């Protein structure tokens, strides 16, 4: 059986934090990371308790392996742990609905996903009962990740 994901498509580790700017500064201080600007996206998201509009705020490290810092949104899957820890592993995929279905069949229930025209799209989160969370992201949205990061880098870096 072909696995639903490919190890070579892992492109970031996500961490949910209570303050993105503070954590960008902290990770720069301790590890020398450079960052994209903090980005914001308004999306319709399906959660366990229904659909709602959320404003997601996030930034990526420009240095590989890439870290994604995500601003906490209490009462959603984007809630910072008491002791900040890895929130998710991010993989590119070619077909979010199909890959999402295959992850569910592999024992990773759907936790949240973006909705476009009533269907799962853009990204989806799947949470294994043990607590390992996988994010899948539509590769077509960011076909050249390095170019995308460079386009989001502050001009002073």
Q: Of the given ranges (21-25, 45-49, 142-146, 153-157), which has the lowest mean pLDDT?
A: 153-157
Residue 82 Cα to chain centre, angstroms: 19
Mean pLDDT estimate for the chain? 93
Phi and psi at 114, nearest 5°, equal -75, 150
> pTM surpassing 0.85?
yes
pLDDT, tens digit (0-9, with 9 covering 90-100), for 61-106: 999 999 999 999 999 999 988 877 899 999 999 999 999 999 999 9
What is the C-alpha separation between 128 and 143, in angstroms, rounded? 27
How many other C-beta atoms are found inside a 10 Å radius of the C-beta of residue 141? Answer: 12
Could you tell me the end-to-end alpha-carbon distance of the chain, in angstroms, rounded to an integer? 45
**39, 120 Cβ separation under 8 angstroms:** no
Write down the pLDDT at residue 156: 56
Beta strands in 21-141 (DSSP E): 39-47, 50-60, 66-71, 88-93, 110-116, 119-127, 133-138
With 60 as the cut, is the pLDDT of residue 142 above it? yes
With 80 as the cut, is the pLDDT of residue 155 above it? no
């Amino acid at each position: 059986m072909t696995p639903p994901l490919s190890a070579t498509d892992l492109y970031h580790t996500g961490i949910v934090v209570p303050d993105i700017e503070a954590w960008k500064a902290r990770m720069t201080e301790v590890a020398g990371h450079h960052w994209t600007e903090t980005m914001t996206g308004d999306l319709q998201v399906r959660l366990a308790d229904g659909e709602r509009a959320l404003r997601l705020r996030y930034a990526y490290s420009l240095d590989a392996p890439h870290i994604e810092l995500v601003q906490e949104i209490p009462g959603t899957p984007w809630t910072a742990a008491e002791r900040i820890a890895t929130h998710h592993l991010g993989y590119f995929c070619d077909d979010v609905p199909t890959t999402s279905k295959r992850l569910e069949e592999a024992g990773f229930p759907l936790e949240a996903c973006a909705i476009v025209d009533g269907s799962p799209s853009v990204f989806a989160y799947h949470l294994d009962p043990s607590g390992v969370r996988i994010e899948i992201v539509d590769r077509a949205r960011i076909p050249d990740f390095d170019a995308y990061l460079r386009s989001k880098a502050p001009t002073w870096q």
